[in-house]
């Protein structure tokens, strides 16, 4: 088994249900880096949060964020953040939702939307059914996807996802997707696990993710990440 890179989600994967990062995951990812296996952070979070996570852990593979809408890797693209899709459909959906939801839009909209380049996000204080209902008559409904990250609801352009953007970043760096170990926990991780040769679900992962995985960890959250890295990569 050859692992060329590790692709890992943040929330619910290297962090626990309170979004606290697990020390065991940090230690395992650093060991992998020391062994010459780069880690790519793949997340629905904004780029500055993802980059801070990458730097603090010591990952070198780059980042895929906003569920595939944005990628970044130091030393590439003139060290500029790269958006892989325009926000036209999502911005139109945002305007539609402001009309349909009224005051509820501002109540439930994520505080970090001002930093998002390709997505609009809502806290899970808004039921997914209500969001779906509000978008039923949106004229570009077929152009957008709603992802549940476990912590938020993401309105994302269908032209990108975590999987397509991970492949883009890996191919640009000469990494064979068959030799990538992808680790996740929730619905929005399915796309990038499907692209990878080694599909890992942490113990707390949703059942659907476990069903498509090649290995389900006995341990949860970051302890599961450490388990997978020790078992397959080191």
Distances (CA, A) of 94 to 76, 118, 119, 129, 214: 31, 11, 9, 16, 37
- The enclosing H or E element of 155 equals strand 152-157
Residues 54 and 233: their CA atoms lie apart, in Å, by: 19
Residue 9: active-site member: yes
Catalytic, out of 9, 157, 189, 223:
9
Around Cβ 109, how many Cβ atoms within 10 Å?
Answer: 19
**DSSP state letter for 139:** T
Q: How far is CA 44 from the centre of its chain?
A: 4
Active site residues: 9
């Amino acid at each position: 088994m050859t692992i060329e890179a590790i692709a890992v989600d943040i929330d619910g994967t290297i962090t626990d249900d309170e979004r606290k990062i697990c020390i065991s995951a940090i230690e395992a990812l650093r060991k992998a880096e020391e062994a010459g296996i780069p880690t790519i952070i793949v997340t629905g979070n904004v780029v500055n949060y993802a980059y801070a996570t990458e730097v603090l852990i010591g990952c070198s593979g780059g980042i895929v964020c906003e569920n595939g809408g944005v990628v970044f890797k130091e030393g590439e693209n003139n060290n500029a953040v790269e958006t892989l899709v325009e926000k036209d459909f999502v911005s139109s959906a945002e305007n539609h939702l402001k009309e349909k939801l009224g005051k509820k839009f501002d109540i439930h909209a994520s505080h970090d939307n001002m930093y998002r380049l390709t997505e609009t996000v809502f806290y899970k204080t808004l039921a997914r059914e209500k969001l779906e209902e509000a978008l039923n008559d949106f004229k570009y409904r077929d152009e957008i996807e709603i992802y549940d990250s476990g912590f938020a609801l993401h309105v994302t352009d269908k032209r990108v996802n975590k999987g397509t953007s991970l492949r883009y970043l890996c191919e640009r760096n000469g990494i064979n997707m068959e030799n990538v170990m992808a680790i996740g926990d929730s619905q929005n991780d399915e796309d990038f696990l499907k692209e990878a040769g080694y599909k890992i679900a942490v113990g707390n992962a949703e059942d659907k993710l476990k069903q498509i995985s090649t290995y389900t960890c006995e341990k949860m959250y970051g302890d599961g990440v450490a388990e997978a890295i020790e078992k397959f990569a080191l």
